[in-house]
Amino acid sequence: MAFLDNSGDIILDAVLTETGRKRLAAGNFNISKFALGDDEIRYDLYDKNHPSGSAYFDLEILQTPILEAFTQINANINYGLLSFSSQRLLYLPSLVVNKKLGDFGGAVPRGADNLFYLAVSGQSGDTAASLVSAFGQGGDRYVLRNNNRTDRAIILEYGLETAGDIVGTKENVNSFISATSLYESNMSISVDRRFIGAVLGPAPGTYLNNSGGDGAVQLAKTLNASSATGRDYIRNHRIATVKSPRNNIVFRTEDTTVDTTYSEINGPRANFVALNFSVRQLSTDDYARHGFTGQNLFSDGKTYNYIDTEVYVSTHSVGATIVVPIRIIQQV
């Protein structure tokens, strides 16, 4: 790995990725698209008070050292640039984990690593029940049950984080979400196919709103299985596509309970997604190879096998992405 000298002339550094070399060797290499990214750029270096004048405002940004091109397919652009025809976009939506719906069927991450615990039927005893007991009062909110379509689910919200500058009223949803075509009907879920066979996503009739009277939240969910078969650039990962219903939590001045009591988004909201997973049949050797076995995690005399993995959730139109850490855990 090295940096390119960006202090003078413009440099174009191009290499073939591993996939590109394979296709070149097979005689079917053809460049049909390109993408731009700004991973190395720090825009806070823009200095409009530079003593030498406007020509120097962005000079430090333009001369930022840039990493040379990589051959690995997943090492070049982590933060891609997008083009939009609309001139009305003031904010772009982001994806966030909802941690406020633990009393309403949402799963809550636990610990400093914000892990979601996904319980798999154990060799001895009920893994989910043991975890709930180990976590103490309210412990059930931290536990996902393997392949369960009606119990707890990870809730992700998609909307505008405006720091309160634009509140999430119906009018602002129409102006900043609907009028700018920022709704998403589906989301892509990338999982490690070695551990997870299917993604459980929202079925018809799933909804989230705060229309229960005086701003009370209402969450109803049933999950459908979607096979993770789409190819991903992340090694060993496959993509499933799930539905993303409208997030109908809104701000109303007459409500005693404010919208952010139940929502992590502080501006207009677009969609949400509820997720669980179906874990493949894993052997003790699988846990030993990819994780840990026989661990007394909670000092309660019970031991567990576990594998830590990451789930990538992405939207289609603006490319918003969030990484969700999952611990697949089995009592032994």
Sequential pLDDT tens for the chain (332 residues) = 577 777 767 777 888 888 888 899 999 999 888 888 888 888 889 999 999 999 889 988 888 888 888 777 666 677 778 877 777 788 889 999 999 999 999 999 998 889 999 999 876 679 999 999 999 999 999 999 999 999 999 999 999 999 878 999 999 999 999 999 999 999 999 999 999 999 999 999 999 999 999 999 999 999 999 999 998 878 899 999 999 999 999 999 999 999 999 999 999 999 999 999 999 999 999 999 999 999 999 999 999 999 999 999 999 888 899 999 999 999 99
Tokens 């049949």 sit on residue: 281
Give me the phi and psi of 315, to 5 degrees please.
-90, 165
Give me the phi and psi of 230, to 5 degrees please.
-70, 140
CB-count burial class (<10 Å; 0-12, 13-18, 19+) for 95: buried
288 Cβ contact list (under 8 Å, min separation 6): 305
- Quote the pLDDT of residue 68: 81
Pairing mode, strands 116-120 and 143-145 = parallel
Which among 315, 313, 317 has a CA at the least distance from the CA of 116? 313
Evaluated on CA atoms 21, 23, 29, 32, the torsion sign reads negative
Residue 102, CA distances (Å) to 106, 139, 152, 270 in order? 5, 10, 9, 21
Tokens 């669980």 sit on residue: 276
* Tokens read off for 218: 């209402």
With residues binned 3-state (H G I as helix, E B as strand, rest as coil), the percentages for the chain, rounded to 5, are 15, 30, 55
Tell me the C-alpha distance between 301 and 293, whole Å: 14
Task: Count helices and strands (H / E) in the chain.
Answer: 5, 18
Tell me the C-alpha distance between 27 and 43, whole Å: 41
Q: DSSP assignment, residue 174?
A: I
- Quote the pLDDT of residue 124: 65
- Quote the pLDDT of residue 203: 97
Tell me the C-alpha distance between 181 and 290, whole Å: 42
- Quote the pLDDT of residue 136: 93
Rg over alpha carbons for the chain, rounded to the nearest Å, is: 23
Give me the phi and psi of 310, to 5 degrees please.
-125, 140
Kindly report the pTM of this predicted structure. Answer: 0.84
- Quote the pLDDT of residue 17: 83
Q: Residue 154 pairs with which residues in a beta bridge?
A: 275
